[in-house]
Structures are given as C-alpha cells and as structure tokens.
Structure 1
C-alpha cells in the first residue's frame, strides 16, 4: 500500500545515534519504524521504546552495525531481534518475519522481505503502522490509521486466529482498549469472551504483566467492568468480581483527587475481597515479586491505627496510602488523613538499645521489650522529640527495673 500520511516530527527521531543507525541499515528502503513509536507519535503521546523493522537478516544486521561502531545485543536473535545500543538508549531492530507455527504461547517464525507479510502477523491494526525513517511516510496495510482516528481496537484479520496464535492477545485487547480505545470492536470482543479459557495455558508472569499495565490505563474502570461482564477473569482470577468495582472506582477517584500516581498493586487490591489470605493466594498465582506480594497483602489487612501517621510508620507510606484509599469514609476525613502523610518525612525513634543499657538494663530480651514499649508510647503521642522520648525512656527503664526486682 502506498504511503497515506506523514509521521510528524518527534524528539525521539532526533535521538543521538539514530541517524547513524538508519544509515547503516540502508534507510527507508530496508528499514522502517514500526509499532508503538509510530502509533504513539500519531496520537501525540510520549514515546518510550523505539522499534525498527528491517529486510536484513539478523546476523547481517549485527555485521552492518558493527561496521559503523554500533554495539548490539542478541536479545531475541532466534526470532529476528537484536538490540542496538545507541548513546541515547537501546533500539530494537527486528527482521521482517512470518509465523510458521504457533501454539498460543510461542511462535516459530521464518524471515521474509515482505512488509505486508510482517504486518499481517501483528495483533492489532494500530500496531501495524510503519514509517519511513527518512521521509516520515506512513505505510498502512490494514486500515490502522482509520482505526487509530476513531480509537478502535481491532484485530488484524480473524480475531479467533489471532488469539489462537497467542492467547495473551485477549488481555492485550483489553489493555489497548483501556489505554487507547473508545468502544470495543464487537467481533474482537466476542472472540475474547469465547476464548477466555485459553488464558489458563499462559504463564502467570505474562498474565500479571499485562494485567498490571491494564490497571493503570486511563479507562481501567470502564474496561475492567467490561471484562468482568464478559467473564474474562473467571478462568484465572475468579476472585475479581463486580463486588470490587466500587472499591476500584473509589481508589481511582482518590488518586485523581489527591494527585497520587496511579498504582497497579493498589488497584488490584481494590478488586479483591478484603482478606490478606486472598491477596497472598492471588500474588502467589501471579508470581508477583516479594515486594508486590507484601504490598498486596498489607493493603488487604484490617488492623486499626490511632492515626494516619501511626499507620504509615508501622506499614510504610505507600501501604498507608493504600489503606486510606481502600477504606470507606467521608472525603474530608480522607483529605485530612492523607495530608498527615503526603509529604511526611518518617522519623526514627530517637533512643537506642544502647541508651537503655546505660540506664541499667541488661542486653537481650529486656532491652528489646522496653524499647518496644517506648516506641508504642512515642507513636501514640504522635512522635514527640528527643526530650520527651528521654523522659519516656526513663519511665520505661524504671518500670522494667521494678519488675525485675519484684520477680
């Protein structure tokens, strides 16, 4: 298909080393920008990653770039991808390819020099847009520009076939809908609902990666509601039901109202029953990191604290924000509690175990027990300064010595 429009100027196109990379690959006749960088530039969105498609075989790409002093890493060379290490950051360069066989999780590919054939193996029309790196001319083989203009997320070709090739495309469909889309394509939506059980064949890490990206997208609430309605979560995350939607709406509203960054773990917690054991089970199933697991289970706890600062000190600032946003309460109380910890520099207890030993306690359990008692008083009094803590320490040590002598 002929070029139908131009890629507008963008800072990423002028990155250091980019012109040298394009020249080494032979310009627009042999290499084109593709995918997210093209899509996001056309939508006037920030571009994170730059991908280039090329007619050259991957081993030839390595040699061509080495000739001009560009280092490469064979990040996925079996599938045609190498990473060019420019002074301004990495750029992925992938040889044009087509699928030989797929099993829903991985594909066996063969290389080609046909741009349309390469485009045909991609998931959505808006991701199959190519741009000449020299002239900016756009190449659109499946009406992706029209879909991008109307914010329509549409599979390339038969949705059922696209999903059979890679089951993760079910979740990608909804993630792209949450980030870019308006109304879902009916045929694609039906295919995702019909094939939702295919998600069970995927690694839980891939599911988690897509889900967490989806949850921070602009239209997350609307799209998660649609996913629940279509039964998308049922095979792999049956804990996510309509019961969690009011909490998710509240969390999103709180984030926006108070200027807190959208947080995927917090939003996932909102969708789950308020039970740390459920959070632990979901975190283990999704193989979240240790930090993410702790965050999720802590968010779903129900212990009470005297103040927002006490909660932040005990749980950590992020976990305290999670609890505040997840709990029911009036807006004024929420604002007041959030203000306590928004920019609070968490203090350290201004007394040590050594100071208690100097006051007459023996090293070991007695010091640890007394230090905890002092800390509890310090927290309950809203973290007073050193003079007050010294007085609390004197009182606690005296009590501990009396208890020792009367034992």
Structure 2
C-alpha cells in the first residue's frame, strides 16, 4: 500500500496540480479521526506519514505529570525518567499505538481523502476558468429543460438559465446552440454554479461589440441601453471620432450588422439613436421615430420633462402600450410626459406663465450633435402621464410606422 500511495500522491501533483504536502496533511488528520472512531480511543493521538517509505504510524501523546489521574492522557514523571532521564514535568511523550490491522483502515481513508482532494481541485479549476467569463458572452448547447430552468452545457460545467432570463416566446430544444450572457458564477458547495441569461441588457452590448468592430475598438461607444427583451430595445451610441457616424456604423451596410443581432434575438426590434450632451436633443432622438417639436423641462423636477409632438404623431410617440415612451424614459433617465401640439397650446393659453418656462427650458433646437459626456442609467420608467394624455383610440406601434 505504501508504494501505491506514494505513486498516487506523485500522480496527483503532476497531473492535477495538487501539492503532495496538502494531501498528506489532510490524510494525517483523517487518520486520527479514523483511529478514534474505529478503536474507541479518547487519548491525544498523532499520525505520522513517512514520505520516503510510505509507512504510517500512530502515536499516543501523553503529558508528564507528578501524579497520574488519566492514564490515557498522562504519564508519571517516574515512568518518563525510566524512558529518558531528560524528561521533565510538562513534557509530551509519544508512545506508538499503531494497530496491527490499521493498514486496511489507512488505505480506505487515504482513498477517500485523495478522491475528495481531486474533486475540490477540479471544482477550483472549473470555477477559475468560468469566473473569467463572467459578464461575457459564450456559446452553449441546450441539454434539458424543466419548469424552472433551461440547462445549458458550456463544456465542463452545466449552466442554468432561469425563467426571467429566457426570451419570451423563444423555444429551447435539446442540442440547440445558443449565445448566452454569463451573469454570475458562484463557487457552491456542490461545485461551481454558472448562471446565464438571454434577457440581460449587457447581452445586447456584447452582441454589438462582436458585430461592430468600431465598438470593440472604442471608436463608437454604447452609452445606454433600454430593453424589453424579446420585443424591442433602444441603444444610445456616440462616436469618439468626428468622422465616424455612430448610428450608421452600428446599422452597417444595408442594415447587415444590426440585422445579425436581431436574428440572434429572434426578431427583437432595435432602435439605434445618437447620444448627445444636449439633453433636449437626446430626448428627442430617444423618441424616434416620432417627430418632436419641443422639449420643456420641469423646473420642479430636474429629471422630468414634457415633450410636445404633432397631433398626428401622439400615438406614435407613445407607442403600443406606451412602449416607445417607456423605453425612451429608461434610455435617457428622464420621466417623459408626452403631449400633442394642440393640448400643449391649450395649456399654455390657460397658464401664460408656463410660456416663459418653456422658452428657458429648451433654448437649443432639436438637432443632432455629438460630444463627450455621460448619461445616467438610473431610470424612472413611469410613463403613466404620457399614456393618460393620449387622445388616440389605439396607439400604433412605432415599428409599424417605420
């Protein structure tokens, strides 16, 4: 057994990267427990593993005392001096108590310890490998599905995708290849646990980085994303090079780049708008494809504004079930109240003091400009005011209008 054990330890160190000393320490601790469990001994014991020959010895450790009260833990000074005249009270003496049949127990214990260390090492390797993919896109294969999760094989580990991370209406079949976003990697007791998503906004960002080299290189930057997974998304982009059109770059020749992303997400509509540090212009861009006549900021709420649109485009600006306005609010970080031109005029006539506020609230014309700034992603998506002001019978989809 000794030669086999030494060979196994050498193999572990060379193939699995598990240091021999670590396994030996764990083995000695496990053998102490095995000895006490199998031989019903309560004394202090130590196990010594000979790393040269592979032999295992068990020693009972006893303290030298004047008067012995527990022979399992203590030895008299007189007996200690008989062994060696250098012993003094308080010294520890080791007596070998290795049972004759302890080799069988040692072999079983060694096997268990080695297997446990191998499992721990493999889990550590897998965790280290997949933790590097956190917040990145990987391609996996659908293995199975139940009422709670879709299980996706990523090679050495099986990732889980919860219901909230699954695209609405998307069907997952066994052996389907899908791109998923690694949202979290945990080192659980049963091994590494990887969570993936198809609905995370950052999935969209990573897809654009894959399809648009200018985004990957930093020439074009994604400033913010508002997404209702499986239905529609808005992406605000800006260019760090005045000679590069950020929207046209993301759309690609004949729309090929954005169409690739749409196909990957099974038809999720994309609105790509230009970001600018002129907040009024950015809000107008975010409500694309609706035409915006004016943006009036609320003097009592720095993150609130009223947007005026032509009467015939009120439904288009709000969007089906308020989706266009809701996504624009998420994208810009503003609470947007949409009013028709007629309704805005009536309000101004009834409250003349609002005219001055409107003029000071939006001095800049609604044109496209690109500068370097930042927009908060902290969004108030409440568009109840926008929906309440609509006088249309049934809002039409912004996508239908396009």
Q: What is the TM-score with the length of structure 1 in the denominator?
A: 0.24
Larger C-alpha radius of gyration, 1 or 2? 2
Larger relative strand fraction: 2
Structure number having the greater helix percentage: 1
